[in-house]
Chain A
Amino acid sequence: MREIVVEVIARVVDDLLRLRKHLVEADFEMNSKLKIENLHVQVGETPILKGVHLEISQGEIHALMGPNGSGKSTLAYALMGHPKYVVTQGSIDIDGIDVNELDPCQRARLGMFLAFQYPVTIPGVKVADFLRHAITNVRTPDRKEGEPLMPMKEFRIELRDTMKQLNMDPEFARRYLNDGFSGGEKKRMEILQLAMLKPRFALLDETDSGLDSDAVRVVSEGLAKLSGPDMGVLIITHHERLLEYNIPNYTHVMLAGKIVETGDASLAHDLHANGYAEVRKRHPEEAAQEQKQQEATV
């Protein structure tokens, strides 16, 4: 009788332990997911995205490809909350949070980041001052306006180290944000911000365009180092280099405002080699829409 009791207790304890282990692991693996469902976006009166589905989990790398004007940047802007890009249907959601309700600042604090295709210039604002502010807000999402910023010394050290890793001249920290920067320098500045802000979801819109081959390597290696199990990455690109260093788990093809195909890294490779003709053939309806849209804008 006693043995039975002991055994039962032992089994219960065992179960509990296993259960606990499971829970802990689940907790550990609790992966954030950016879920985009049936997203329709328009600019002014013009519908541009016409039902995009996409799910990105932390730790995954997604490549988004597609011909010029197919809507890749539009997707990136809409995800970041650009006021001009209005969501008319569908949803954007992170772990049950309706992202579409949030302004860009709240999205950033939730862990979203967009490396812009065309970063803007902000004259008179020093890179370091801007970044210190940004980092403080993103790392302490509850910070209210006027509350203290991250300590200067700590920030400086981190900035210096990060710039070093990215092969950037520390002088850039003292310059005005993107003011007089070359195209490539601007892109590096985006990567610096990505490195400092360490988002959960990073959207990179043609960060590899306009870079010389050394810079592409620095940026590609940089991204590879930065991304990891905690970062979900969406890489919008027309080139292959970035994807060589950051092999996508998924490749999506956008055509006329829809993701028409999803494959693995080999799809990206194939598109680079052969272009979009085959894709258009496989999706005549979207291809026709694309044609119509182009005629409308000419």
Chain B
Amino acid sequence: MSTDIADNTDVGVGAYQYGFHDSTDNYAFTSRKGLDAEMVSQISEMKGEPDWMREFRLRSLEIFDQKPMPNWGGDLSHLDFQDIYYYVKASDHQEKSWDDVPEEIRKTYDRLGIPEAEKKYLSGVKAQYESEVVYGSLDGDLAKLGVIFTDTVSALRDHPELFRKYFGTLIPPSDNKFAALNSAVWSGGSFIYIPPGVNLEFPLQAYFRINTENMGQFERTLIIVDEGASLHYVEGCTAPTYSSDSLHSAVVEIVVNKGGRCRYTTIQNWSNNVYNLVTKRAMVYQDGLMEWIDGNLGSRLTMKYPAIYLMEPGARGETLSIAFASKDQHQDAGAKMVHCAPNTTSRIISKSITKDGGRASYRGLVKVEKGAVNCKSNVICDALILDPQSQSDTYPYIEIEESDVTIEHEASVSKIAEEQLLYLMSRGLTESEASAMIVTGFVEPLIKELPMEYAVEMNRLIELQMEGSVG
């Protein structure tokens, strides 16, 4: 979702101007389609990276080539890796005006109530350098505390030691085919370091880094929350992402050290042609807490299972996710909790909504390693199916190598009951108002966890998704 800030500073204004059309006339550099070693080297060179990173990329490419496509999850048979641009760099001095933004998109922004300035940014009208300002001002406030919040490319340049210590350690390229792909061609993403004992009062947001087309398809985020520190990071945009690109494959790695807390909130609303294949993993040390809050709307296929490894006693992990699948969409999402130490606890709450023939799958793994006694895990997944064409399924996996553990799993599937609709309608609500209200109520326990402005937008998004869909 994020764009590569550093990449674009050198091209200056207008890096986003190609947001809505497929025209590539203005690109300063467009890689040819497809993927090979030459391409990967070229990407690394364009970014002026150190040798070790170029080698890392090339090694990752080899792994990617060797690994077979996953044969589980969703249907990936239409995904053609050779038909994708892996690196695009925009041209300069091409200011786009608000008037060029398609009516339909402007209307969506209006209805979402996104402020003018952000709208312009989201739609790619606003110039790139303004995002620098955003980072800059955050730096000003937080730098004194030793907080680092920057884009990943800058971090590689400016904080090489810290970067190298953690980069690729949680999710090595060999983890899965898409992690390998990301490792080979990554650009963009956020890098965050919170020093020991620093508690950030406000969420850090990547809100302004929302890209238009072709950018940040392979972002790479690395977060380190040091001992006793805490962070809430909010990523992604609640506005629709109008990407013509077919593949988004991000990697997010998070380390939560002893007594640290990290909450990572994502709300993604991809356009319906995007394959969204994301690997997210956190490692939590003694008494630390990691929370993934994950909203998945849009996309053609999403495969995303944020993982938490509970490494030391007292570590806790929690994943809350909402998936919304409509026509021609498959959300295959869930969570992975790995209990590697005694007295660790985890909780997974997953809610999915399907309509107009959409499909949502919950796929989750709770694993208790040998020696991890006295662990607790609680899994709740609820599915709401809005019409008979739509589908929901559940794949809960449990692997336990200890006996002294408590694992609970509850699953429920509900259809919007005729009785509920009738009840609300008999009080004067239209059918679509009534269904939207039922859906909003269904996700309410999760929405409550979101920061205010995201909660409001999430609700509006759901209303938009529901609009005119029923009746």
Whether B426 and A197, one on each chain, are in contact in the complex, defined by CB atoms closer than 8 angstroms, is no
Residues of chain B with a CB closer than 8 A to A129's CB:
437
Shortest beta-carbon distance, A265 to chain B, in Å?
Answer: 29
Whether A124 and B425, one on each chain, are in contact in the complex, defined by CB atoms closer than 8 angstroms, is no
Across the A-B interface, how many residue pairs have beta carbons closer than 8 Å? 87
Verify if A234 is at the interface (C-beta below 8 Å from B): no
Verify if A82 is at the interface (C-beta below 8 Å from B): yes
Query: Of B28-36, B298-306, B412-420, which stretch is located at the interface?
Result: B412-420
Residues of chain A with a CB closer than 8 A to B444's CB:
123-125, 176
A-facing mask of B428-462, CB < 8 A → 1, else 0?
A: 11111110011011111100000000000000000
Whether A80 and B426, one on each chain, are in contact in the complex, defined by CB atoms closer than 8 angstroms, is yes
Whether A108 and B443, one on each chain, are in contact in the complex, defined by CB atoms closer than 8 angstroms, is no
Whether B440 and A125, one on each chain, are in contact in the complex, defined by CB atoms closer than 8 angstroms, is yes
Shortest beta-carbon distance, A79 to chain B, in Å?
Answer: 10
How many angstroms between the C-alpha atoms of A82 and B445 in the bound complex?
30
Residues of chain B with a CB closer than 8 A to A122's CB:
420, 423-424, 437-438, 441
How many angstroms between the C-alpha atoms of A124 and B445 in the bound complex?
7
Verify if B422 is at the interface (C-beta below 8 Å from A): yes
How many angstroms between the C-alpha atoms of A83 and B425 in the bound complex?
11
Contact of A120 among B417, B433, B443 (CB under 8 A): B417
Verify if A114 is at the interface (C-beta below 8 Å from B): yes
Whether A108 and B441, one on each chain, are in contact in the complex, defined by CB atoms closer than 8 angstroms, is no
Residues of chain B with a CB closer than 8 A to A120's CB:
417, 419-420, 423
Residues of chain B with a CB closer than 8 A to A133's CB:
428-429, 433, 437
Residues of chain A with a CB closer than 8 A to B433's CB:
133, 137, 145
Query: Of A42-50, A53-61, A99-107, A220-228, which stretch is located at the interface?
Result: A99-107
Verify if A155 is at the interface (C-beta below 8 Å from B): no
Q: Which of A117-172 contact B (CB under 8 A)?
A: 119-120, 122-125, 129-130, 133-135, 137-138, 141, 145
Whether B429 and A137, one on each chain, are in contact in the complex, defined by CB atoms closer than 8 angstroms, is yes
With contact pairs A124-B444, A176-B441 given, residues A193 and B427 touching in the complex (Cβ less than 8 Å) = yes
How many angstroms between the C-alpha atoms of A107 and B441 in the bound complex?
24
How many angstroms between the C-alpha atoms of A107 and B418 in the bound complex?
17
Residues of chain A with a CB closer than 8 A to B442's CB:
123-124
Contact of A104 among B420, B426, B437, B440 (CB under 8 A): B426
How many angstroms between the C-alpha atoms of A114 and B424 in the bound complex?
11
How many angstroms between the C-alpha atoms of A137 and B417 in the bound complex?
22
Q: Chain B residue with minimal CB distance to A115?
A: B426
Q: Name the interface size band of chain A.
A: 20 to 34
How many angstroms between the C-alpha atoms of A129 and B443 in the bound complex?
15
Shortest beta-carbon distance, A208 to chain B, in Å?
Answer: 20
Residue among A123, A176, A197 having the largest count of chain B Cβ atoms under 10 Å = A123
How many angstroms between the C-alpha atoms of A138 and B422 in the bound complex?
15
Whether B445 and A134, one on each chain, are in contact in the complex, defined by CB atoms closer than 8 angstroms, is no
Shortest beta-carbon distance, A108 to chain B, in Å?
Answer: 4
Whether B425 and A108, one on each chain, are in contact in the complex, defined by CB atoms closer than 8 angstroms, is yes
Q: Chain A residue with minimal CB distance to B417?
A: A120
With contact pairs A122-B437, A125-B441 given, residues A114 and B426 touching in the complex (Cβ less than 8 Å) = yes
Whether A124 and B428, one on each chain, are in contact in the complex, defined by CB atoms closer than 8 angstroms, is no
Residues of chain B with a CB closer than 8 A to A124's CB:
440-445
Shortest beta-carbon distance, A49 to chain B, in Å?
Answer: 18
Whether B422 and A83, one on each chain, are in contact in the complex, defined by CB atoms closer than 8 angstroms, is yes
Residues of chain B with a CB closer than 8 A to A104's CB:
422, 425-426
Verify if A113 is at the interface (C-beta below 8 Å from B): yes
Verify if A20 is at the interface (C-beta below 8 Å from B): no
Residues of chain A with a CB closer than 8 A to B443's CB:
124
Q: Chain A residue with minimal CB distance to B414?
A: A123
Q: Which of B380-427 contact A (CB under 8 A)?
A: 417-420, 422-427
Whether A138 and B441, one on each chain, are in contact in the complex, defined by CB atoms closer than 8 angstroms, is no
Shortest beta-carbon distance, B463 to chain A, in Å?
Answer: 9
Whether B427 and A125, one on each chain, are in contact in the complex, defined by CB atoms closer than 8 angstroms, is no
Verify if A282 is at the interface (C-beta below 8 Å from B): no
How many angstroms between the C-alpha atoms of A105 and B471 in the bound complex?
13
Q: Chain B residue with minimal CB distance to A113?
A: B426
Contact of A197 among B419, B428, B430, B438 (CB under 8 A): B428
Contact of A137 among B419, B428, B431 (CB under 8 A): B428
Shortest beta-carbon distance, A175 to chain B, in Å?
Answer: 12
Residues of chain A with a CB closer than 8 A to B438's CB:
122, 125
Shortest beta-carbon distance, A193 to chain B, in Å?
Answer: 7
Residues of chain A with a CB closer than 8 A to B445's CB:
124
Residues of chain B with a CB closer than 8 A to A105's CB:
425-426, 428-431, 434
With contact pairs A116-B423, A120-B419, A124-B445 given, residues A109 and B428 touching in the complex (Cβ less than 8 Å) = yes
How many angstroms between the C-alpha atoms of A107 and B431 in the bound complex?
13
How many angstroms between the C-alpha atoms of A141 and B428 in the bound complex?
8
A interface with B by C-beta (< 8 Å): 80-84, 103-105, 107-109, 112-114, 116, 119-120, 122-125, 129-130, 133-135, 137-138, 141, 145, 176-177, 193, 197
A–B Cβ pairs within 8 angstroms, 13 of them: A84-B418, A104-B426, A105-B425, A120-B417, A120-B420, A122-B438, A124-B441, A125-B444, A133-B429, A133-B437, A137-B433, A145-B430, A197-B427
The 7 closest A-B pairs by CB, nearest first: A124-B441, A124-B444, A137-B428, A125-B441, A134-B427, A108-B428, A104-B425
Q: A83-B418, A134-B429, A137-B433 are in contact. List 16 more A-B contacts (CB 8 A).
A: A81-B426, A82-B422, A83-B422, A105-B425, A108-B428, A116-B423, A122-B423, A122-B441, A123-B441, A129-B437, A130-B437, A133-B437, A134-B424, A145-B467, A176-B441, A197-B428
